[in-house]
């Protein structure tokens, strides 16, 4: 009973206290109302900033929308081997009798063709996506390279034999055609709107696993890994077989073609690269119309403008592309561009970095006359260049310079003979016989002909030594050299 009473008493006591508190509050309120000043209400708490991330994205709608446009591409390459000899057959019989596994060198090599040669079939797998409803497919050039047969499998499991319309190895873009109509093409996105940190999705066939979806974010843009392309870097899981598949933004638009990975093991390591879709579409349209890509060229060898180079030529910043060499008879040579010039603008477009120039020139139609702003001897001037056509280049490997004791700057030079002057079509200069030290680091090679030091022409060894003596000690020296048909400007740092 006591426990029950105590239990009933506690609410009553608290209730009585509550009544007294309320009554006191009313009495104080009346007293304040009689003569006291009103109390200002407490300030409302400042609203908190909206959350930057409200939740993880849901990719299901996006995958349902874009998935039907993604295709699997299987490649077949047939390689003929030499005819199998009777010795191979005898060796196989020997191993079979004693129950020993056949070593690779005597194992059967595949079916024989009518000529008696063994045939080996190599198979590859890649991805792609529908570019247009009438059967054009976009993928990577390295996916279809060397293939004797292409088989495209659609999302609905239909299979088609495909043909390569064209492939561009420089950008790693290929256009493939299948005989089909009414296909669901992808929507092309705007790469300019793509932001670092934005969610993106890849759909492809890694290791042959069709319609595999992986997701991540854009890690960087304008990543310099190609001659003609600034890649999109992501952390989307990309593996062998994903090549050629689409990179998709959250609006269901394709913003890139998955092309490369950075890996030390051959597998995914968190860094993937995609070809920007605007560049891929530009290439695809040329492949569709002409079967190949035509690019402009002007015939210059360039390098970045370092701080030292900018100071040497009198530039206030490191913008532009330093012309290191000019091909003899090239559009640049005909326009008057010289080694040592810095190209600041091409066809009105600024050249912020040296890598910008080949992209701008490459996108210019051959035969077009364009203005080129250059920086030469402390002042800017504008020349007019007629852009040529870029052909497939055969790049020769440069020979390593020999190491030997050398004259100032690490060079040993000699006079040119009359025959050498006629052969090189130069009025003067000195030939490099040995190179080491700073000159070797700058890329000077034995056999090069020095025709200028700083802003002075060099006709012989005496001119060469006199020009060097006029350069302040410790300062970089600009050398104008001839190498074959090319004139090159080299900055040697003592």
Of 158, 177, 196, the residue that ends a domain is 177
- Rounded to 10 degrees, the C-alpha dihedral 428/432/438/440 comes to 130
Task: Tell me which residue of 134, 195, 137 sits closest to 166, measured CA to CA.
Answer: 137
User: Is residue 328 pLDDT above 50, yes or no?
Assistant: yes
Q: Are residues 275 and 308 in the same domain?
A: no
Instruction: Work out the pLDDT band at 147, boundaries 50, 70, 90.
Output: confident
Looking at the predicted structure, is the pLDDT value of residue 350 above 90? yes
Better-scored residue on pLDDT, 160 or 391: 160
Q: For residues 275 and 328, state if they share a domain.
A: no
Tell me, what's the pLDDT at 493?
81
pLDDT of amino acid 264: 66
Contacts of 365 (CB under 8 A, 6+ apart): 294, 296, 387
State pLDDT tens for residues 182-204.
999 999 999 999 999 999 999 99
Task: Give the pLDDT score at 23.
Answer: 44
pLDDT value of position 446: 82
Has residue 25 been placed in a domain?
no
Out of 356, 389, 422, a domain closes at 389
Looking at the structure, tell me whether residues 154 and 80 fall in a common domain: yes
The answer to whether residues 447 and 431 touch, using CB atoms and an 8 Å cutoff, is: yes
Q: Which of 309, 490, 294 is nearest to 398 (CA)?
A: 490
Mean pLDDT of 403-419: 64
How far apart (Å, rounded) are the C-alpha atoms in residues 326 and 307?
22
Q: Can you give the pLDDT at residue 14?
A: 39
Cα–Cα distance measured from residue 148 to residue 169, given in angstroms and rounded to the nearest whole number: 18
pLDDT at 46: 57
Residue 17 lies in a domain: no
Same structural domain for residues 274 and 300? no
Res 11: pLDDT: 40
Q: What is the mean pLDDT of residues 365-379?
A: 92
Quick one: pLDDT band at residue 109, thresholds 50, 70, 90? low
Whether residues 370 and 285 share a domain: the answer is no
Band of pLDDT at residue 91, cut at 50, 70 and 90: low
Mind spelling out the 3-state secondary structure of 330-356?
Answer: CHHHHHCCCCCCEEEEECCEECCCCCH
pLDDT at 490 over 80: yes
Residues 360 and 427 in one domain: no
Residue predicted with more confidence, 281 or 429: 281
pLDDT surpassing 90 at residue 5: no
> What is the per-residue pLDDT across 51-82, written as a single tens digit (0 to 9) for each?
555 677 889 999 999 999 999 999 887 755 54
Helix or strand run (H / E) with residue 361: helix 356-362
Residue 203 lies in a domain: yes
Averaged pLDDT, 205-215: 89
Whether residue 302 is found in the same domain as residue 276 = no
172 marked among binding-site residues: yes
Kindly state whether residues 149 and 238 are assigned to the same domain.
no
Assess if residue 158 is contained within a domain: yes
Domain with 241, as residue range(s), is 187-290
Shared domain for 156 and 251, answered yes or no, is no
Q: How many domains does the chain have?
A: 4
| Final residue before a domain boundary, out of 233, 257, 290 | 290
CATH code for the domain in which residue 125 is found: 2.40.10.10
Q: Is the pLDDT of residue 215 over 60?
A: yes
361 shares its domain with 320: yes
Whether 375 and 441 map to the same domain: the answer is: no
Q: For the domain that residue 466 is a member of, what is the CATH number? A: 2.30.42.60
Evaluate whether residue 398 is within a structural domain.
no
pLDDT averaged over the chain? 78
The catalytic site residues sit at 142, 172, 243
pLDDT given at position 41: 53
Output the CA–CA distances (angstroms, integers) from residue 295 to 139, 283, 298, in the order listed.
20, 10, 10
Residues 413 and 444 in one domain: yes
CB 194 within 8 A of CB 188: no
- The yes-or-no verdict on residue 93 having pLDDT over 60 is no
Classified as helix, coil or strand, 14 is: helix
Report the distance separating Cα 34 and Cα 36, nearest Å.
Answer: 6
Residue 24 pLDDT level (bands cut at 50, 70, 90): very low
Return the higher-pLDDT residue of 313 and 233.
233
pLDDT at 390 (0 to 100): 83
pLDDT at 485 over 80: no
User: Residue 267 has what pLDDT?
Assistant: 67
CATH of the domain at 313: 2.30.42.10
Question: In this predicted model, which residue has the larger pLDDT, 176 or 449?
Answer: 176
Q: What's residue 173's pLDDT?
A: 94
pLDDT at 240 over 90: no
Check the annotation: does 242 bind a ligand.
yes
* Within-domain flag for 312: yes
DSSP state of 170: T
241 appears as a binding residue in the annotation:
yes
Beta-carbon contacts of residue 185 (< 8 Å; ≥ 6 apart): 69, 130, 131, 132, 133
- Under the banding of pLDDT at 50, 70 and 90, the label for residue 217 is very high
In a domain, 134, yes or no: yes
Summarised one tens digit per residue, pLDDT across range 288-316 is: 998 888 889 999 988 889 888 888 888 88
**On the CB side of 86, how many CA atoms lie within 13 Å of its CA?**
0
pLDDT value at 30 more than 90: no
pLDDT at 249: 94
Cα–Cα distance for residue pair 74/34, rounded to 1 Å: 92
pLDDT above 50: residue 35: no
């Amino acid at each position: 009973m006591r426990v029950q009473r105590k239990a009933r008493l506690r609410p009553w006591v608290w209730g009585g206290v509550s009544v007294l508190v309320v009554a006191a509050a009313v009495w104080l309120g009346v007293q304040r109302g009689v003569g006291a000043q009103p109390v200002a209400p407490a300030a409302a708490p400042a609203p908190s900033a909206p959350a930057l991330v409200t939740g993880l994205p849901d990719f299901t709608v996006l995958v349902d929308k874009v998935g039907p446009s993604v295709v699997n591409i299987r490649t077949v390459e047939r390689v003929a081997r030499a005819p199998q000899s009777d010795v191979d057959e005898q060796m196989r019989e020997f191993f079979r009798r004693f129950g020993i596994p056949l070593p690779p060198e005597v194992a059967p090599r595949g079916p024989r063709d009518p000529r008696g040669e063994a045939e080996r079939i190599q198979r590859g797998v890649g991805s792609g996506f529908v570019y247009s409803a009438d059967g054009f497919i976009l993928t990577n050039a390295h996916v279809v390279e060397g293939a004797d047969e292409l088989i495209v499998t659609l999302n609905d499991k239909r299979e088609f034999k495909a043909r390569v319309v064209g492939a561009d190895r420089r950008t790693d873009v290929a256009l493939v055609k299948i005989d089909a109509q009414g296909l669901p093409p992808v929507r092309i996105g705007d790469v300019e709107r793509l932001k670092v940190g934005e969610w993106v999705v890849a759909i492809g066939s890694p290791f042959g696993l069709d319609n595999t979806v992986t997701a991540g974010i854009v890690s960087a843009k304008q990543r310099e890994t190609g001659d003609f392309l600034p890649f999109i870097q992501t952390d989307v899981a990309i593996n062998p077989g994903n090549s050629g598949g689409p990179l998709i933004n959250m609006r269901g638009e394709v913003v890139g073609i998955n092309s490369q990975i950075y890996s030390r093991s051959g597998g995914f390591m968190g860094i993937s690269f995609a070809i920007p879709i605007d560049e891929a579409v530009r290439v695809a349209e040329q492949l569709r119309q002409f079967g190949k890509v035509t690019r402009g060229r002007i015939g210059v060898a360039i390098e970045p403008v370092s701080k030292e180079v900018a100071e040497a030529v009198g530039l206030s910043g490191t913008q532009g592309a330093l012309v290191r060499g000019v091909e003899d008879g090239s559009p640049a040579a005909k326009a008057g561009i010289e080694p040592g010039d810095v190209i600041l603008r091409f066809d009105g477009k600024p050249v912020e970095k040296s890598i910008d120039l080949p992209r701008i020139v490459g996108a210019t139609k051959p035969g077009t006359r364009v203005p080129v702003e250059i920086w030469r001897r402390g002042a800017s001037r504008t020349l007019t260049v007629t852009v040529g056509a870029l052909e497939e280049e055969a790049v020769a490997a440069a020979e390593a310079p020999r190491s030997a004791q050398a004259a100032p700057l690490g060079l040993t030079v000699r006079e040119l003979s009359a025959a050498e002057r006629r052969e090189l079509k130069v009025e003067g200069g000195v030939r490099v016989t040995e190179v080491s030290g700073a000159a070797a680091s700058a890329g000077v090679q034995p056999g090069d002909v020095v025709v200028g030091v700083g802003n002075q022409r060099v006709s012989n060894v005496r001119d060469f030594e006199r020009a060097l003596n006029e350069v302040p000690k410790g300062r970089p020296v600009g050398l104008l050299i001839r190498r074959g048909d090319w004139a090159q400007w080299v900055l040697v740092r003592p």
